[in-house]
C-alpha cells in the first residue's frame, strides 16, 4: 500500500451542544469501570480540565478510577530538557489531590503514565526517579509516542523519529523500566506493530500495553481501504498477541486518523452505531489476547469530538454483552487494575 505524501488529520472539535442532541439511558449503571486512558490539558479551544473530567466520569456509568496518560501537559518551562516532562506528573498528582478534596467518588488519576525519552539509556533512571517522587504514589509507567507514518502528519505533538522502537539507545532506556517496576504504553500505527512485536520479544519481562487497537489508519492512502487495512492489522495483532507481556487497550477509534466521520453527521452516533462499526476490531482483539489482557478505554477528550462519554461506555457494554461475568469484569475493571497496579 503506497505511503507517499501525507494527510494532516483535522481533529474534531468537541461540541457539547451537538453531543447533547443524542441521549441514552445508561446500560448496567452498577458495573464497576476503570477508565485506563484519558488526558488533561489547557490547549486553546480544546481545554479538558478537572471539572470537565468530573462531569464525564459522573455522567451515569460507575467509573471507580481513572488513569492519566501523558500528552505533553504542563511540562516544566525551566529545567534540564530530560526533566521537563516531570512537570506533567507534578500537575496531575495535584489534580488528583484536588479531586480527593472534593470527595469525588471516582479515584481521579489513580494511576499516572508519564513521559521519558528512553533514548537517554541508563541516564533515564534520573527521570524515572523524579516522576516517582512527584507522583505521590500514583506513577505507573512511561509512554514515549512512536506513532509515525509517511501518510499522516500528526497534530498536537510533533512526530517522533522513524524506527524508534528499533533504536539501540531507546532499547537501552527501555531495559531500565523493569528495574523500576514500570509499564510501557505503546501508541503507534498499525504499520509499526511488527516493530513492537520485536521489542516485546526482546524484553519479555516488561509489561506493555498497546493503545487504541494498535492504530489502524484510515486516512491518506489508507482512506477507503478499510477492509485491506483490517486484514493487515489483524495479521499483525495475531502475531503480537503471542507475546504474553503485551496487553491491549480497546478504544481510541473515534480519532481522526481512523478515518471515521461520525462528527460530520447531523446527530451524534448512538452506542449501537459505534458497536456495529467497531465490533470486528474488538472481537479480533479479545479472541487474540483474551479478556484478561484487554481493557476498554475512553481516550477522552480526543474521542469526545465524535461521541459522548455515556454513549461510548454504552457501546462497550453492548460489545461485551455476550462475554461471561468474569470476562466482563476483566474488560471493564480487572485487567486495568492488574496492569496498572491499582488497589
Q: What is the CATH number of domain 16-339?
A: 3.20.20.140
Distance CA 164, CA 146 (A): 6
Return the beta strands (E) in the chain as ranges.
32-38, 62-69, 107-114, 139-143, 183-186, 208-210, 246-250, 294-296
**How far are the Cα atoms of 57, 137, 161, 271, 306 from residue 341, in angstroms, in the given order?**
20, 11, 31, 30, 31
Give the cell for residue 262.
461520525
Q: What is the pTM of this model?
A: 0.95
Give the cell for residue 257.
486518523
CB 289 within 8 A of CB 339: no
Distance CA 261, CA 38 (A): 21
> Cβ–Cβ contacts within 10 Å for residue 21, how many?
11
Domain boundaries, the chain: 16-339
Alpha helices in 116-224 (DSSP H): 125-134, 168-174, 193-202
Ordered per-residue pLDDT tens for the chain, 343 residues: 434 444 545 678 899 999 999 999 999 999 999 999 999 999 877 899 999 999 999 999 999 999 999 999 999 997 789 999 999 999 999 999 999 999 999 999 999 999 999 999 999 999 999 999 999 999 999 999 999 987 776 555 677 888 999 999 999 999 999 999 999 999 999 999 999 999 999 999 999 999 999 999 999 899 999 999 999 999 999 999 999 999 999 999 999 899 999 999 999 999 999 999 999 999 999 999 999 999 999 999 999 999 999 999 999 999 999 999 999 999 999 999 999 999 7
Amino acid at each position: 500500500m503506497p505511503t507517499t505524501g501525507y494527510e494532516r488529520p483535522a481533529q474534531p472539535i468537541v461540541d457539547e451542544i451537538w453531543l447533547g442532541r443524542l441521549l441514552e439511558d445508561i446500560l448496567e449503571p452498577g458495573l464497576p469501570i476503570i477508565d485506563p486512558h484519558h488526558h488533561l490539558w489547557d490547549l486553546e479551544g480544546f481545554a479538558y480540565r478537572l471539572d470537565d473530567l468530573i462531569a464525564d466520569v459522573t455522567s451515569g456509568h460507575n467509573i471507580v478510577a481513572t488513569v492519566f496518560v501523558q500528552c505533553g501537559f504542563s511540562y516544566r518551562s525551566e529545567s534540564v530538557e530530560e526533566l521537563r516532562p516531570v512537570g506533567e506528573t507534578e500537575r496531575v498528582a495535584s489534580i488528583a489531590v484536588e479531586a480527593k478534596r472534593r470527595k469525588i467518588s471516582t479515584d481521579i488519576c489513580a494511576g499516572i503514565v508519564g513521559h521519558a525519552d528512553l533514548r537517554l539509556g541508563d541516564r533515564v533512571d534520573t527521570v524515572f526517579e523524579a516522576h516517582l517522587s512527584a507522583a505521590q504514589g500514583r506513577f505507573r509507567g512511561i509512554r514515549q509516542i512512536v506513532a509515525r507514518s509517511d501518510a499522516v502528519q500528526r497534530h498536537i505533538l510533533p512526530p517522533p523519529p522513524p524506527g524508534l522502537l528499533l533504536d539501540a539507545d531507546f532499547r537501552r532506556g527501555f531495559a531500565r523500566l523493569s528495574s523500576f517496576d514500570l509499564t510501557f504504553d505503546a501508541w503507534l500505527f498499525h504499520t509499526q506493530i511488527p516493530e513492537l512485536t520485536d521489542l516485546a520479544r526482546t524484553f519479555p519481562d516488561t509489561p506493555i500495553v498497546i493503545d487504541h487497537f494498535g492504530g489502524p489508519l484510515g486516512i491518506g492512502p489508507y482512506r477507503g481501504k478499510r477492509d485491506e487495512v483490517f486484514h493487515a492489522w489483524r495479521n499483525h495483532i495475531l502475531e503480537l498477541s503471542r507475546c504474553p507481556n503485551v496487553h491491549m487497550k480497546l478504544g481510541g477509534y473515534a480519532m481522526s486518523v481512523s478515518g471515521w466521520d461520525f462528527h460530520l453527521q447531523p446527530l451524534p452516533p448512538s452506542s449501537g452505531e459505534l458497536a456495529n462499526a467497531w465490533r470486528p476490531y474488538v472481537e479480533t482483539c479479545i479472541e487474540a489476547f483474551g479478556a484478561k489482557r484487554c481493557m476498554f478505554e475512553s481516550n477522552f477528550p480526543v474521542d469526545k469530538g465524535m461521541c459522548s462519554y455515556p454513549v461510548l461506555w454504552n457501546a462497550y457494554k453492548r460489545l461485551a454483552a455476550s462475554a461471561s461475568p468474569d470476562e466482563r469484569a476483566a474488560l471493564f475493571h480487572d485487567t486495568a487494575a492488574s496492569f496498572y497496579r491499582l488497589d
